[in-house]
Amino acid sequence: MNTMTRNILILFVGLVLGVTISLGRIGLAERADAELAPLPLADLRVFTEVFEKIKNDYVETRTDKDLIEYAIGGMLSSLDPHSAFLNEEAFTELQVGTSGQFGGLGIEISMEDGFVKVVTPIDDTPAQRAGMKAGDLIIRLDDKTVKGLTLSEAVKVMRGEPGSDIVLTIVREGADKPLKITITRAIIKVTSVKSRSLDKGYGYVRITQFQSRTGDNLAEAISKLKDENDGLKGLVLDLRNNPGGVLNAAVSVSDAFIDKGLIVYTEGRTSDSDNKFHATSGDLIKGAPLIVLVNGGSASASEIVAGALQDHQRAVILGTQSFGKGSVQTILPMNNGTAIKITTARYYTPNGRSIQAEGIVPDIKVEPLKIAHTEKQLERIKEADLSGHLSNGNGRKEKKKSKSKDKKEIPLSEKDFQLYEALNLLKGMNLLHARMSQR
């Protein structure tokens, strides 16, 4: 490598590090908001030597562009699991991902110890239908070992033509050996908000992912539930397995139930990273009891909502401890069509709690239990079954025992125990409020 090339490379590395370099003079860089330390010239020389060795001696030819992108990618991925270099293709995919439709498997992932970790499978996607679970570690993609791949490289392998298959080899807690799961790729269309009535007067809203229109979609869903039930006596907000998304959407959802006060604030090293978000007047369910469901797949924006509602004592948080992603990533586009995703701040709940690596601890811990009934259960004899039993004396006709053998709908307690408990809690809160108001 000649002197001119070496100097140009040192200049490039200096610019990456955010310092000003003159080829004739290496000194202190000046920035408006901070004074930087002297440029580590000795380290930069090592970098250029390594660059030269790889370029000349590596078994396969690599272009200067490739090596420089590898260097930038390594620098960012070494910071934390959420910082990354985005080449032109990855940057485009990221922009598409917030629109609500994209191709792939339907899983939110991160890197952990060199392997791909499933944060959560997205509702109604191939990954969820194939049985992927939050916490699964992906160790192979078809025949390709994940170890050594960057997160963007792993995503690229998982993306593909709709209808094509990929075999994921995963390590799952509690499993004796790695599992192989075949998933058929598809166009992923994420419906951000889903809703239904649980019982007369009690609504259920599930947010699968926070997108740009999630706040508006939530308002529409609640309005529909009010019309169906002639008002709402309580609401369950389900954030389980919600990996997060757009920060402003999390603020809008929180604001839907909080009348005033701080929702969330962020703090970083620069003034641009320090922001505060406050609630505006108005509660969509007018103070009715609210239960928020969370679990280990609830991350980022989900935790912002749960933390805000918990700190304002506006909702009871029920379920299991959340994921614990309390950092903010900023996308910084570069001049050549690439971008970097870099962690710029931590976020805090209204009471100043950092969720990073800790998560939201539910007010009431309820594990996702499965209640199963045996096919044949011995029916217990009751008073009404005895021959010649006394009538109840209240003038009502006794209900005859149904002998229908029609297939019964699976009760909520068996389908979703956590939701069943949330509904019972809502009913109990309303019952207690009604009795207290009669005193």
Annotated catalytic residue, options 83, 300, 302, 322: 300
Regarding whether 182 and 201 lie in a shared domain, the answer is no
pLDDT tens figures, 157-177: 898 888 999 999 999 988 999
Q: Is the pLDDT of residue 14 over 60?
A: no
> Who wins on pLDDT, 152 or 422?
422
Annotated catalytic residue, options 83, 117, 195, 325: 325
Instruction: Compute the average pLDDT of residues 68-88.
Output: 90
Q: Is residue 389 assigned to a domain?
A: no
**Which pLDDT value is given to residue 114?**
80
Q: Is residue 134 assigned to a domain?
A: yes
Has 403 been annotated as catalytic?
no
Regarding whether 356 and 211 lie in a shared domain, the answer is yes
Q: Is residue 402 assigned to a domain?
A: no
Regarding whether 211 and 168 lie in a shared domain, the answer is no
The answer to whether the CB of 151 falls within 8 A of the CB of 110 is yes
Number of domains in the chain: 3
320: nearest Cα among 353, 290, 363: 363
Q: Is residue 15 assigned to a domain?
A: yes
Regarding whether 349 and 226 lie in a shared domain, the answer is yes
**Which pLDDT value is given to residue 190?**
78
Report how far apart, in Å, the C-alpha atoms of 14 and of each of 11, 84, 343 are: 5, 19, 21
Regarding whether 250 and 143 lie in a shared domain, the answer is no
**Residue 314, domain CATH:** 3.90.226.10
Q: Is the pLDDT of residue 92 over 50?
A: yes
Q: Is the pLDDT of residue 337 over 50?
A: yes
Annotated catalytic residue, options 123, 136, 255, 311: 311
Least confident of 36-40, 267-271, 400-404, 416-420: 400-404
**Residue 127, domain CATH:** 2.30.42.10
Q: Is residue 373 assigned to a domain?
A: no
Regarding whether 263 and 227 lie in a shared domain, the answer is yes
Helices (H), 244-393: 247-255, 301-311
Has 311 been annotated as catalytic?
yes
Q: Is residue 11 assigned to a domain?
A: yes
Last residue of a domain, one of 143, 167, 189: 189
**Which pLDDT value is given to residue 20?**
37
Regarding whether 198 and 322 lie in a shared domain, the answer is yes
Q: Could you list the residue range(s) of the whole structural domain that residue 32 is in? A: 3-62
pLDDT band at 384 (very low <50, low <70, confident <90, very high): confident
Regarding whether 283 and 178 lie in a shared domain, the answer is no
Has 300 been annotated as catalytic?
yes
Strongest mean pLDDT among 25-39, 247-261, 331-345, 359-373: 247-261
Residue 348 identity: Y
Least confident of 86-90, 211-215, 242-246, 407-411: 407-411
Regarding whether 173 and 245 lie in a shared domain, the answer is no
Q: Is residue 439 assigned to a domain?
A: no
**Which pLDDT value is given to residue 59?**
96
Last residue of a domain, one of 137, 155, 189: 189
Regarding whether 354 and 206 lie in a shared domain, the answer is yes
Q: Is residue 163 assigned to a domain?
A: yes
**Which pLDDT value is given to residue 238?**
98
Regarding whether 218 and 292 lie in a shared domain, the answer is yes
**pTM of the predicted structure, to 2 decimals:** 0.77
**Which pLDDT value is given to residue 18?**
43
Regarding whether 240 and 205 lie in a shared domain, the answer is yes
